[in-house]
Amino acid sequence: MNYIGNFLKRKDAQLYLTLIFLIIVIYTLRNFIGVILLTTIFSYLAIKPSLFFKKQFKVPYLLAVILMYVFGLGLFISAITYAAPLLVEQLKVIPNMISKAIVDHPYLNKNIDKLINQAIHSSEIVSNSKNVLITGLREAGHVGTGFTHVVLAIFLSFVYSTSHNRLLKFGHEFLKSPYREFFKNIYYLVRKFVLILGKIIETQLLICSINTLLMAIGLSLLKMPSLLLLTIIIFIFGLVPVAGVLISIIPLGLIAFASGGLIRV
């Protein structure tokens, strides 16, 4: 018993026990983990620029946060309003380019016709296609849920960002309680997680922005069509570390082949 008591008094043991406790809490809240992570990300992206803006321009912190959210939402709405029509026009061109590329390449056209005929006469492919369609429709229903989570996360992050200083003061009061060692460990672990996550997000956004800029310049030099669409695809997939760049090659390669053949690919 003395050995167990001495073990539990060790700071490293208490830290690991606190970590286990947090893992259990996270597992219990696993259905809300998406909202929690998005709220953390949006809050970090709002608070850090707001603190910089406050320091540089000597404005109240609350005003800086409100300006950041107004700027971010305004930029998003403007992008949808002005870019969406152009994006739709560019999307209309792609099917025609792909069909033209198939017609212009007899070998490709012959093989595609062969594959289509096999698919029509294959009961297994038809059965699998039904399963894929059902799965696709089921997953499409999750899009609305995902959008709801994003909106909820933006609202919660705004509430947290505007109340950041008061919440910090409230949280520090727990460090004066009889269980201060436990709350110190929670504060240490959560703070480390948020800082690491924030650095990962900052680095990924920087890499993604540089990659998108360089790719846009390269694609414009190659005279690729639908440049805005391709730039958006590159930026979105670029947010996914490592795999995103590889996945983005597929639509880029298809559009390049449709517009300029193997040489452009």
Lowest mean pLDDT among 142-151, 162-171, 174-183, 202-211: 142-151
- Computed over every residue of the chain, the mean pLDDT equals 78
Two structure tokens written together for 40? 């953390």
Q: Where residue 147 falls among pLDDT bands split at 50, 70, 90?
A: confident
pLDDT at 24: 92
Inform me whether the pLDDT recorded for 252 exceeds 80.
yes
In degrees to the nearest 10, what's the CA dihedral of 39, 45, 46, 50?
150
Q: Where residue 131 falls among pLDDT bands split at 50, 70, 90?
A: low
Inform me whether the pLDDT recorded for 85 exceeds 60.
yes
Inform me whether the pLDDT recorded for 117 exceeds 70.
no
pLDDT at 198: 86
User: What is the rounded distance in angstroms from the CA atom of residue 20 to the CA atom of residue 82?
Assistant: 49
Q: Are 219 and 227 in contact (CB under 8 A)?
A: yes
Q: Are 247 and 233 in contact (CB under 8 A)?
A: no
Stretch 17-41: mean pLDDT: 88
Place of tokens 């910089």: 52
pLDDT at 130: 53
Top mean-pLDDT range of 90-94, 96-100, 159-163, 168-172: 159-163
Inform me whether the pLDDT recorded for 229 exceeds 90.
no
Two structure tokens written together for 200? 């990962």
User: What is the rounded distance in angstroms from the CA atom of residue 128 to the CA atom of residue 33?
Assistant: 32
Inform me whether the pLDDT recorded for 247 exceeds 70.
yes
Stretch 52-79: mean pLDDT: 86
Stretch 210-222: mean pLDDT: 91
pTM summary value: 0.71
pLDDT at 110: 57
Inform me whether the pLDDT recorded for 213 exceeds 90.
yes
Top mean-pLDDT range of 20-34, 113-127, 239-253: 20-34
pLDDT at 259: 76
pLDDT at 142: 54
Q: Are 90 and 228 in contact (CB under 8 A)?
A: yes
Inform me whether the pLDDT recorded for 98 exceeds 90.
no
Q: Are 201 and 44 in contact (CB under 8 A)?
A: yes
Q: Which H or E run contains 59? A: none
How does DSSP classify residue 225? S
Those residues whose C-beta lies under 8 Å from the C-beta of residue 108, and which sit 6 or more positions away, are: 101, 102
Q: Are 90 and 224 in contact (CB under 8 A)?
A: no
pLDDT at 138: 57
Residue 203 CA to its chain's centroid (Å): 13
Percent residues over pLDDT 90 in the chain: 6
Inform me whether the pLDDT recorded for 214 exceeds 90.
yes
Top mean-pLDDT range of 104-108, 117-121, 154-158, 198-202: 154-158
User: What is the rounded distance in angstroms from the CA atom of residue 212 to the CA atom of residue 169?
Assistant: 41
User: What is the rounded distance in angstroms from the CA atom of residue 43 to the CA atom of residue 198?
Assistant: 10
